Every structure is written in C-alpha cells, then in structure tokens.
Amino acid sequence: MPAISASELAARLGLRLRGNGNRQITAAASLEDAGPDDLTFISAPKYFEAGLDSDAGCFIAPHDFPAASDRTVIESAHPRNHFAQALALLYPAPPIHPGIHPSAVIHPSAAIDPTAEIGPFVAIGSHATIGAHVRIGASTSIGNESTIGDHSLLHARVSIYGRVHIGARAVIHSGAVIGADGFGFELAGTSYRKVPQVGRIQIGDDVEVGANSCIDRATLGTTFIGDGTKLDNMVHIGHNCRIGEHVLIVAQTGLAGGVTVGDYAVIGGQVGVGDKARIESKAIIGSGAGILSSKIVRAGEPVWGTPARPLRQYLKQLATVARLAKKS
C-alpha cells in the first residue's frame, strides 16, 4: 500500500489535523498493535490513557484527546466512523480488469456490460443482465433472467438462481445462495408433496450478503430485501420475507417464511423468527432470542430470550431464577 501523509488523509476526510502533517501513514492497526507508521483510532475518553501509551504514529480521536505536541491527531466527533472511511482510502479495492475469462460459459442471449469483469469458470444463463463495472469471481453461477446491478461485487462460488434481481453496489460473499426454492411442502396422504416455488427475489441497492447465507425465492410474488440492508454470514431468509431498508441481521439467524422486518431494525446473532412474524422499524432483538410465529415485535426497548420479551422483564426473570437456585 502506498504511503499517505497525515495532512492529505485529514483533508480527504474533511477533518482538522493537529501535529505533524507530514507524517507518512503506511497502514492501519489496532490501538495495541499500532506502530509509528500506522493509523489507529480512539473512540472514547476511557481509551485516552491507552492511546498515550501507544506507539501509533497517527490517531483519529475526539477533539479533547490530550496528545503531546509530538503526536499527530486527526480530530473527529465520530472517530470510529471516520476510521472506517480512512480504511477505505488506505486499502482501496483492486481495479477492475474488464473482460470475460476464456473459461467462462456465457449464454448468447446474456447482456454483459463491456466494463464488467467476468472471472474463471463463471456461468451466466440466458437473458441474464450484468451491469457496468460489475466484478464476478471464479466459479460463480448466474441463472436465467437474473440481473446484477452496476458496481456490484460477487465473490467466488456464489450461486444466483434464475429470476433474481440484485441492485447496484451489492456485495455478495462466497458460498451465498440466492434464489433457491422456499421450503414449501404439503402432506398428501402419507407423504409430502412439494409446492412449486415460482416467485422471484428482489434485492435493493447497497445490500451486502455474508458468506454461506441463503435467500429463498417466494412461493408466489417476491422475496424482498431493501436498500442498504446488511446480512452477516450464515443468515437464512425464508420465502416471501420482506426486509426493509438499512436492516442489520447478524450471523446464524434464521427467518421463516413470510416474515416482515421494518427499516433500521437490528436482529442479533442466532435469532430464530417464526413464520409471518412482524418486526417493526427500529426494533432491536438480542442474540439468541426466539420470536414466535405471527408475533409482533414493537420498536422501543430491546427484546431478549425465548420467547422474546422486553429486556428488563427478561433480566428480572433471570434474577428470580438465580435466587430460586440459591434457595434450593
């Protein structure tokens, strides 16, 4: 990575610099590991002492961070946020190399923008559309009539089934499967009969899907994920779910069919959500919680436990159980 001066970095972040603006930054590191050529950040006063003891060459820190005159500080009211922006500047994505690898298999009816990069052993089906500046990693499969929006990145070994629409600037990590059949079966006599899953998937702009996550197509209609939503690794979204905008869903969480999630909701890791449950906008569900079928989770106080209930109630019940255990 080429070096960047502290003054240039501060200017690109739109922040005020204190100290040696000529200091060269070659990497970013944690507060504990940072050296003289590294950038790090301090998010709160409780870390000030550790920062002063650190060997870091440059800090992104609050305005009142009491660094000595020989320290270089980029002052920020939101250090963590600006550090994330700095990481993107220090570690830019590799440039796209437009073109189609000779080993790729492309249906003649597929439309591929000339600025896209199609990697080795990629398969693209009939009437698929690949937008401008899209990068598709090795051994990824794009099904018939699917669309990948401009500036999206599909890592290696992603499986996109047919009739899936993915918006602009999406990031889909390895092992993700988008468009597999929803889990639909009806008992016919003594055996289960599969219900054909003939719906679609629509994913908005700026969505990220983690490694080995699965998003099922709708039985009828559309499984929908709104703009800006982020799915962690190993998340399952069932058929006909409607996920709003800027939702966060953490690893190993599973949503059954027909679940609705409002904008800006946060769902912790290893949460199970029953079918047709409704999670309101800005609701918060703690890790490991269980949401019963058709349950409505209101915004306001976070919910925890199984079945999920308000955090204060959950903690009170835990305390009661602990006291009973001591008495026994």
pLDDT value at residue 317: 83
pLDDT value at residue 301: 86
pLDDT value at residue 321: 81
Return d(Cα 278, Cα 296) in angstroms, integer: 5
Type of residue numbered 248 = L
pLDDT value at residue 320: 82
Taking 90 as the threshold, does the pLDDT of residue 278 lie above it? yes
Tens-digit pLDDT profile for residues 83-110: 999 999 999 989 999 999 999 999 999 9
Cα 89 to Cα 12, 28, 160: the distances in Å are 9, 11, 31
Tens-digit pLDDT profile for residues 157-215: 999 999 999 999 999 999 999 999 999 999 999 999 999 999 999 999 999 999 999 99
Type of residue numbered 251 = A
Cα 293 to Cα 3, 23, 260: the distances in Å are 54, 57, 11
Opening angle at CA 204, ends 199 and 208, nearest 5: 105
Q: Do residues 67 and 61 make contact, with C-beta atoms less than 8 angstroms apart?
A: yes
Instruction: Please report the domains of the chain, with CATH numbers, ordered by start residue.
Output: 4-90 (3.40.1390.10), 99-312 (2.160.10.10)
Measure CA of the first residue to CA of the last residue in the chain; give whole Å: 62
Average pLDDT over residues 20-28: 93
How many CA atoms lie within 13 Å of 6's alpha carbon, on the beta-carbon side?
24
Average pLDDT over residues 231-245: 98
Return d(Cα 244, Cα 18) in angstroms, integer: 41
The pLDDT-based confidence of 322 (bands split at 50, 70, 90) is confident
Average pLDDT over residues 119-130: 98
φ, ψ for residue 132, nearest 5 deg: -70, 140
Spell out a b/e string for 109-148, using b for 16 or more CB atoms within 10 Å of the CB, else e.
ebebeeebbbbeebbbbeebbbbebbbbbbbbbbbbbbbb
Widest CA span in the chain: 81
How many CA atoms lie within 13 Å of 140's alpha carbon, on the beta-carbon side?
26
The pLDDT-based confidence of 319 (bands split at 50, 70, 90) is confident
What is the pTM for the complete model shown?
0.90
Taking 90 as the threshold, does the pLDDT of residue 67 lie above it? no
Taking 90 as the threshold, does the pLDDT of residue 252 lie above it? yes
- Mean of per-residue pLDDT scores for the chain: 95
Q: How does DSSP assign 217-283, residue by residue?
A: PPSSSEEEE-TT-EE-TT-EE-TT-EE-TT-EE-TT-EE-TT-EE-TT-EE-TT-EE-TT-EE-TT-
Taking 80 as the threshold, does the pLDDT of residue 48 lie above it? yes
| Residues marked as catalytic | 239
pLDDT value at residue 1: 61
How many CA atoms lie within 13 Å of 272's alpha carbon, on the beta-carbon side?
7
